[in-house]
Amino acid sequence: MEISARLSRRRFLGFCFVDGSGLSYFALVPRTIYLDYNATTPLDPAVGEAMQPFLHEIWGNPSSVHHLGRKARAALDEARARAAHFLGAKPSELIFTSGGTEANNLAILGTARALKAKGKHLITSAIEHHAVLHCFDYLEKNEGFSVTRLPVNPEGRVAVEDLVKALQADTIIVSVMAANNEIGTLQPVAEIGSLCRSRGVIFHTDAVQWFGKEPFTDLNQFNADLVSLCGHKFHGPKGAGLLFIRSPLHPDPILFGGAQENERRSGTENLPAIVGLVESITRFLKIPVFDKSRLLPLKDQLENLIHSIPGCEMVSSKVHGLSNTVAFVVTGTDGMALMAGLDLEGICASSGSACSAGSLEPSHVITALGKRDAANALVRFSLGRETSGDEINQVIKILPEVIRRAQLNGKTASGW
């Protein structure tokens, strides 16, 4: 016990095992320090508990007319009404989806197709999540739309003045994310939304990274016609999200089959996940589960360290950024080497979007910042509810050596 306690304060945990013959073994395993909360969060136990009855007891298909189906339908309607009341929307304005990607796809593809008779010009930013950017790429390549991709400043922030210049008579949709997943930059979405409304242009915001981290009153604060949300970013279940669609907008469906979700999204509703999503919404949004007062000092500690390490440059915004996100680039190495080095020390981090896991492509976000040469050497630490001061102290001790080794290997590989 003494050895285990001593090691647990360092980089390894010690465990003592006893086999059937009475022989004991001592094993060391790396201590896990999870700093990838922008990728996903662990399911909150209370949220999981709320889901349990809908896994084992209320398991009927909400579209069935028999009593089991009616019981499931009642639960689904109650969950939608509860979410709508909390978010400040009408129940008919909420479409449950499989997550943020589907919500973004429905918002962009569905709305563009529904409104194409009014115009075929679309606007987005250069640093959107791929679930947004690839929709615009598809519409431009295959369906005859034109797309303007707004530049960003060195902090990754869109200038409203650039949007004003980009608007055209046939512009039908503007899509700008509320908070960037890779570097944490917050966008002036309320101002953008107000401008779009004054021009009669539909505004969509991918707010997946905003919820649970930034102050929230109701959906009206975004001045948006379409808002995407995803549960597993704030301790809800994976496979559950929603799209707010301000009435009377009616995007064309992108999934076909049944008439579920007010004929906007076919497919049997994932009732356990929806219940979990709504439970996490009501628990973790209005009092953000990512506590700024606790996370900002930890973020400052990491940033101060990174500024002192040769070859490191911060790319996350100090002023207009999420309180939990620390992003930097490193010269003389690449993201894969850095991630491997951190993982060997038990530190879970990211080198970009989790939805691009395994990708060797440079970060389009870092490229958009004008740092093309460093775009393949991004490190993102994203802190969360369980992040402790002790864990940050451990990272501070480990990180300089991880970077030094990665840079040394980079020099060797390149023949420096």
Q: How many beta carbons lie within 10 A of that of residue 247, not counting itself?
A: 10
Q: How many beta carbons lie within 10 A of that of residue 148, not counting itself?
A: 18
Helix (H) or strand (E) holding 12: strand 12-18
**Structure tokens belonging to residue 233:** 């970013």
**What is the DSSP pairing of strand 24-30 with strand 347-348?**
unpaired
**Structure tokens belonging to residue 367:** 């490229």
Residue located via tokens 């990607």:
101
Residue located via tokens 């990491």:
302
Query: Read out DSSP for 309-324?
Result: STTEEE-S-SSSB-TT
Helical residues (DSSP H) of 52-174, grouped into ranges: 53-56, 67-87, 100-105, 111-115, 130-142, 160-166
Residues tagged active-site: 355
**Structure tokens belonging to residue 273:** 């996940």
